[in-house]
Amino acid sequence: MSRKIQGAVVFDLTGSMAAVRDEVRYTNCAFIDRLYGAFDKIEIGAIAIGDDPEPGYMMEKVGLSSRPDTLRHFIMTVPNAYGGDGDECYEQALDELSRWSWDPEAAKFVVFIGDAVPHAVSHRKNPGRLDWQVCARRLAETAGGINIFPVHALAYRDYGNFWHELAEIGDAPYLRLGQFRHVENLILGITHRMAGADRFAEFERGFSNVPHDLRESFDALAGRPRTTPPWSGTGGGSRRRKAGFEEVVPPDRFQVLTVTSREKVDCKEFAVEKGLIREPAEYDRTVKSNFYYLHDQRSRETLRPTHHVVIEDLITGEMITGDAAREALGCPYGDSKNIPRNPLPGKRVWFQTKSHNRKFEVGQHVLIDTDGIDEHALTR
């Protein structure tokens, strides 16, 4: 008889982290049906981090449930938040989870997805004076043991020490969420790993190609030596590495996001939808220069002298930008050139837009350079 599985997913929904949930919401939470369909006995709950007591919320939650529709409704309806500062109420989520009704006989785990750090004990938003380390240890020891899987998003920005320490306390590997769009497969992978090495191996065999950032996490879950290049020892810094003549950027700097609204939107509306700005009036020169559209519609597109491009490898998911990307298209900075559609086999080419009025279709993919958007705007 298979062992019962209990798990909880913690989503940070402050600022741009709301885009992680939007990628799940766009598929109508398809991973939930796969999750509940794969295991006979499974209960999943969720916590949304808002850290925004007025006018929003600090946390919203749905407890452990064997009903997939319960989890789906929560993820689809919980509102985005803005936080208001760089630290988030992670300590309160850890404390809350230790109070849930966990089954001592079940295989238990928590997937903790975020990009920031917990509040300090003295922080004004931490009225209970909670110490996140104490809360994490208590959770890890609850009901015979709960594995805590930290999933570090936008890891190139730093805060790596917290996420590595949380992994150590939770007796789980440190995982990076390279692309927000891979969050569903990462949650599924963690759940299958909790069911045993054989179940995880079976899950992996279902992939024909695994992007490098997801492969790094799968290697960690399987206990294999790293097969992808290290970007940073602690998750900090915008470190690049060389791949031939190309300068490859960290896998989480450029995020491919999906237009999840019900109708066509312009750049300003899209930025609000994804938590990059609060209102259209904040769509300024800094924000607009970090939007890229995919060159796959027109037969030719003019590459302007100062506009950046990003080239994405369709198999590995690696991305290059800067001089190397312009030169790969035969158009160095300072030159202008008409670029044909799909100019590089096996690659996707993204053009910087710098537009106020460009319209995005429902389901269209848009590339965002998170390195160029002020960190405060992404975490407020």
Helix (H, G, I), strand (E, B) or coil at 76: helix
For 102-132, the pLDDT digits (tens) are 999 999 999 999 999 999 999 999 999 999 9
Give the angle subtended at the CA of 148 by the CAs of 145 and 154, to the nearest 5°. 175
Closest CA to 310 of 360, 257, 249, 373: 249
Both ends of the chain: CA-CA distance in Å? 47
Assess whether 215 and 293 both reside in one domain. Answer: no
The domain that holds 86 is classified in CATH as 3.40.50.410
CA distances to 191, 216, 251, 313, 374 from 228, rounded to whole Å, are 22, 6, 11, 15, 29
Assess whether 79 and 206 both reside in one domain. Answer: yes
Q: Report if residue 290 sits inside a domain.
A: yes
Range of the domain at 165: 5-222
What is the enclosing helix (H) or strand (E) of 75? helix 68-77
Listing DSSP states for 285-328 in one string gives HHHHTTEEEES-SSSEEEEPTT--EEEEETTT--EEETHHHHHH
Considering only 41-45, 86-90, 375-379, which range has the smallest mean pLDDT?
375-379
Q: Report if residue 238 sits inside a domain.
A: no
Helix (H, G, I), strand (E, B) or coil at 350: strand
CA distances to 52, 57, 127, 275, 365 from 79, rounded to whole Å, are 11, 9, 23, 11, 22
Assess whether 216 and 296 both reside in one domain. Answer: no
Using 50, 70 and 90 to split pLDDT, how confident is the model at 229? low
Q: Report if residue 237 sits inside a domain.
A: no
The CA distance from 356 to 132, in Å, is 42
Residue entry with tokens 């290059």: 320
What's the confidence (pLDDT) of residue 239? Answer: 41
Assess whether 181 and 36 both reside in one domain. Answer: yes
For 327-345, the pLDDT digits (tens) are 999 999 999 999 999 899 9
Q: Report if residue 29 sits inside a domain.
A: yes
Listing DSSP states for 139-199 in one string gives HHTGGG--EEEEEEESGGGS-HHHHHHHHHHTTS--EEE-SGGGHHHHHHHHHHHHT-HHH
Q: Report if residue 350 sits inside a domain.
A: yes
| DSSP classification of residue 240 | -
Q: Report if residue 338 sits inside a domain.
A: yes
pTM assigned to the model: 0.87
Asked if 257 and 22 count as a contact pair (C-beta separation under 8 A), the reply is: yes
Assess whether 56 and 183 both reside in one domain. Answer: yes
Q: Report if residue 139 sits inside a domain.
A: yes
